[in-house]
Amino acid sequence: MMMTDNQHGAVLMMAAMAAFTVSDSFMKLLAPELPFFQTLLWRGIAVSLILFLLAHRAGAFKVPLARRDRLLVGLRSLADTVAAYFFLQALYNMPIANLAAIAQSLPLSVTLAAALVFREPVGWRRLLAIALGFIGVVLIVRPDAQGFDPYAGFALIAMGFVTVRELMTRLMAGGVPTLRVAFWNGIGVMLLGLIGASGQAFVMPAPAALFYLAGTSSVLVIALVLSVMAIRHGEMGFVSSFRYTAVVWALILGWVVFGEWPDVITVFGAALIVGTGLFTLNRERLSAARWRAPGRH
């Protein structure tokens, strides 16, 4: 059975969230190995080079872009660069599961933005599912948990800029090559790293740091491409709700890699998040089936 655009976008978003979480884990492992901005610079160089080669091979740079689309690509890159700075600062200073949970405020802001800017329909069942998912987030990041520290504010600022980034993505014409968009993303972060690293004493990466850099760079390329593809399929509010699955990956990797064992309430919150995501996907499947039923036009 063929998937609808929304279902296709949901699958791409779930895969992107898994890749982003693995990349974030490599970055967290790099924290004691390299200065922050030098890490951004090295990763930015690697990611930009990989994306350039992929985009060049695919002929992405040969596609003519309207002035409006060039502006949107630039604004998207700028928004993502600012978001990356605040997000990684939070990542270096708080448990990865807590950060992932805070990041799940994004589907709420994206859904609201999509409804206001694009007039996308958001039914009461979908709103209820997203609200229940947010309750799951609250269960994970409780008032007495480590999530409520100064770096939680950094995480929320990052989510605000990611919302702007998603709006810029959705406003682009369908013919704008995904690899070209992702490439300028990498360039923006690389330039931020270059500016910041210019005031730091140079540190030669050790073998372990080189391994982590290779890991985070290669996986991030996959995540960036998948995330752009996801937003450009289906409805923005629907697809973004599947960002909740990042919490599950963060809980698993936090336990396996960093020894951060979640308590019962945290696990329950994660289960609630996954459940609401699956419910939303099932609603889309049923709606699509009814629309294809005989007698519907």
Q: Which residues of 195-215 are buried (b: 16+ CB within 10 A; e: fewer)?
A: ebbeeeeeeebeeebeebbeb
Q: What is the pLDDT of residue 264?
A: 80
Both tokens of residue 129?
């599912």
Integer Cα distance of 268 and 179 in angstroms: 38
> How many CA atoms within 13 Å lie on the side-chain side of 68?
8
Distance (Å, whole) CA 271 – CA 26: 25
For residues 183 and 179, give the distance between their C-alpha atoms in angstroms, rounded to a whole number. Answer: 6
The pLDDT, as a whole number, for residue 106 is: 73
Total Cβ atoms within 10 A of residue 106: 21
pLDDT by residue for the chain (297 residues), tens digit each?
Answer: 577 888 888 889 889 999 999 999 999 999 999 999 999 999 999 989 999 999 999 999 999 999 999 999 999 999 999 999 999 999 998 888 878 877 777 766 777 777 777 776 667 777 787 778 777 777 766 655 454 567 777 888 898 898 888 888 888 888 899 889 989 988 999 999 999 999 888 899 999 999 999 999 999 889 878 887 887 777 766 787 787 788 888 888 988 898 877 778 777 877 787 777 667 666 666 665 555 555 554
pLDDT of amino acid 196:
94
Spatial contact of 76 and 168, defined as CB atoms under 8 Å apart: yes
Task: Go through the chain and tell me how many residues it has.
Answer: 297
Written as one letter, the residue type at 95 is P
Query: Cβ contacts of residue 94 below 8 Å, gap of 6+?
Result: 146, 147, 149, 151, 152, 155
pLDDT of residue 60: 92
